[in-house]
Structure formats: structure tokens, C-alpha cells
Amino acid sequence: MIDNFAAVGLLLAFAIGLPIVVMAVVHLLAPHKPHKEKLTTYECGNEPIGRAWIGFKSNYFLYAIVFTAFDVETIFLYPWALTFRKLGTFAFVEMFIFMIILIVGFWYAWKEGALEWM
């Protein structure tokens, strides 16, 4: 068990290290001739006006909030699914009540138009 997670740690180091090594090798191989025009931001040949770092459409934010609710629910649901058959009828019913509460929340978000793309 501990061995496995040590292996995951090693894998993480490996996975981070490899692209760095690859890019270092490419840095040696590839030509490097920076030029003022070459380093400008690509905008189909036009001069870019202003920066791209701007406030952005809030629609995405609503989705993100609904997503957060469901993502947290997922963290509850996975252990529940894991022990589903060992749990008695009580835990079974309880979890479905939990899910029904979430579905009510989902229905509310739906009704309020949080899931509409505008």
C-alpha cells in the first residue's frame, strides 16, 4: 500500500521531469532567432489592440458554481458507491435522500436559467 503511493510519488517526479528534459533537448536542437515582428501576438495579421487579459463573460462562472456543487457531491458519492452493498437499507435510503436534495438544487438552477447559454 505504502509502496504503491511511493511509486505514485516517483511517477509524479518522472512525469514532471520528462517534459523538462525533452524541452531542454529541443532547446539545444532548435534554432533561436527572436525578432520583434515574430514575437508579436498572432491576430491574423492585424495589430493586436489592447491586451487579452480582460474581465470575461460571467456565464462561465454560473456553470462553474453548479459544477462545484456536483463535484463536491461526487466526493461523497464515490465512497458511498464503494460500500453500497455492505451498507444497510438505512444508509441506502439516506443517500438517496441526499441525492434528492441535490436534484432539487439542480432543478432550481435549471428553473432560474443558470444552465441556459446566453
Nearest to 41 by CA among 53, 29, 33: 53
Distance from C-alpha of 95 to C-alpha of 81, rounded to nearest angstrom? 10
Does 14 sit near other proteins (CB under 8 A)?
yes
Q: Shortest gap between Cβ of 48 and other proteins (angstroms)?
A: 7
> Which DSSP string do the residues of 75-103 spell out, in sequence order?
HHHHHHHHTTTTS-HHHHHHHHHHHHHHH
Binding site for other proteins (CB under 8 A): 1, 3-4, 7-8, 10-12, 14-16, 18-20, 22-23, 26-27, 29-34, 36, 38-44, 48, 51-54, 56-57, 59-60, 63-64, 66-67, 70-71, 74, 77-78, 81-86, 92, 96, 99, 103, 106, 110, 115-117
